[in-house]
Amino acid sequence: MMPERGVPLDHRAEAWERLTRAVNQCVKCPLASGRRNVVFGEGDRLSRLLFVGEAPGLEEDEQGIPFVGKAGQLLNRIFEAADIDRKDIFITNVVKCRPPGNRVPSIEEMLACEDFLKAQIALINPSILVCLGMTSTKWILKTGESISRVRGKWFDWKGIKVMPMFHPSFLLRNQSKKKGSPKDLTWMDIQEVRDRWLECR
């Protein structure tokens, strides 16, 4: 993906409006037929910090808001613990409509949706992008490495600092808080992200 960085500020409101309309009307892939709502993303459109997950789940599809189900609630608790206010960041997903049964979106679906994510990144112009989970990490960084190997590391991607982290739904399945557990590592990762974000705010 090649986002065009730094859309001038005075053009952004209009561009956001056009983009939101286009996403809400989109039928570019088969996921359109099963959705209740498009889940565009939410948060501060001028934030220096962007989180990108995989796809909406059941609750997200019902409400049209990203990360509101169990995984989202866990993510909120992680944010709170790290003193990150969700209102101050932007959160979205690689695809904007729910895949049936919460399966991983197909390559074709991610390709069909790619321009929307590119446009969001261009408009937000973040300094830091956190990939939540393997799908988002693979899609953005084009890496074949497992999430366990790349999480917690910084990558430079088109001038944006990118850090992969475990997806909160993975943390729900791995409840241990022992040293070196996914939850323990995520706690370190989110603090690192917060510290870098504070430096560039």
- 138-145 contact pairs (CB < 8 A, 24+): 139/94, 139/110, 140/1, 140/52, 140/94
> What's the order of all strands across the beta sheet hosting 128-132?
42-43, 90-93, 49-53, 128-132, 160-165, 155-157
Q: Which stretch binds ligand SF4 (CB under 6 A): 70-78, 107-115, 120-128, 153-161?
A: 107-115
Cβ closer to ligand SF4: 28 or 194? 28
Nearest residue to 68 (alpha-carbon basis) of 86, 95, 50, 94: 86
**Is 69 or 182 the residue whose CB approaches ligand SF4 more closely?**
69
- Least distance to ligand SF4 from the beta carbon of 130, Å? 21
Cβ neighbours of 163 (radius 10 Å): 20
Distance CA 66, CA 93 (A): 8
- The reply to whether 98 sits near ligand SF4 by the rule CB under 6 A is no
Choose which of 7, 15, 16, 32 interacts with ligand SF4 (CB under 6 A): 32
Q: Does 31 bind ligand SF4 (CB under 6 A)?
A: yes
Minimal distance in Å, beta carbon 93 to ligand SF4? 9
Binding range to ligand SF4, per CB under 6 A, among 24-32, 46-54, 76-84, 166-174: 24-32
What x/- string results for residues 78 through 97 when contact with ligand SF4 is judged by CB under 6 A?
A: -----------------xxx
